[in-house]
Amino acid sequence: MPTETPPQEKAFPVSWDQFHRDARALAWRLSGQGDFRGIACITRGGLVPAAIVARELGIRLIDTFCVASYNENKEQGELNIIKGVNSELLAVGGDGGKHILIVDDLVDTGATARLVRSHLPNAHFATVYAKPKGRPLVDTFITEVSQDTWIYFPWDTGLAFQPPISGRG
């Protein structure tokens, strides 16, 4: 009986220009969706889109919800809350965070989103990219990618030759 080869991970490299366009599209989609008085960005991936969304929506109160989950092998491990949001953001956020916008770059399995939502259950959760397992946990996103896709964000990559998808020169 032939052995099955594991499915190939799909690569989705995102340039700075593309990410900026996608983050601005997220802000455009969010405009008018709520009375957002502050942003809780999930570090580290949420820092860049949160800055862009904050600029576009005129939001000046930004804090970080610091969660670590991926290890050096690109595998999600145990979630670790390093820091929650500060009292100033919670004060303007209202009941359960209803005036808080949570921003992240990506929702993958939904584990981080579940954890953050448990602390801010009424906040509006927005991501630039969403995978199927995590998509139900976010309120707004721009692009859905397959679960077996690894997104290479511009802050994680350098400029280098990319081999053709087919593997043939």
State pLDDT tens for residues 52-62.
999 999 999 99
Inside any domain, residue 10? no
Q: Mark whether 22 is an active-site residue.
A: no
Into how many domains does the chain fold?
Answer: 1
Strand partners, 12: 151
Inside any domain, residue 14? no
Q: 130 CB contacts (<8 Å, ≥6 apart)?
A: 106, 107, 138, 141, 143, 144, 145
Inside any domain, residue 25? no
Inside any domain, residue 157? no
Inside any domain, residue 65? yes
Q: Mark whether 63 is an active-site residue.
A: no
Q: Mark whether 148 is an active-site residue.
A: no
Q: Indicate if the pLDDT at residue 75 is higher than 70.
A: no
Q: Which member of 22, 104, 139, 148 is catalytic? A: 104
Pairing of strands 140-144, 149-152: unpaired
Q: 65 CB contacts (<8 Å, ≥6 apart)?
A: 40, 41, 42, 43, 81, 83, 84, 85, 102, 116, 119, 120
- Domain span including residue 99: 35-144
Confidence at residue 7, expressed as pLDDT on a 0 to 100 scale: 60
Residue 105 belongs to a domain with what CATH number? Answer: 3.40.50.2020
Q: Which residues of 104-117 are buried (b: 16+ CB within 10 A; e: fewer)?
A: bbbbbebbbbebbb
Kindly report, residue by residue over 129-141, the tens digit of the pLDDT: 999 999 999 999 9
Q: Which member of 17, 22, 95, 108 is catalytic? A: 108
Inside any domain, residue 119? yes
Kindly report, residue by residue over 14-39, the tens digit of the pLDDT: 999 999 999 999 999 999 999 999 99
Q: Which member of 105, 139, 148, 156 is catalytic? A: 105
* Mean pLDDT of the residues in the chain: 90
pTM listed for this prediction: 0.86
Strand partners, 11: 150
Inside any domain, residue 152? no
Pick the closest to residue 39 from 25, 27, 53 (CA basis). Answer: 53
Inside any domain, residue 128? yes
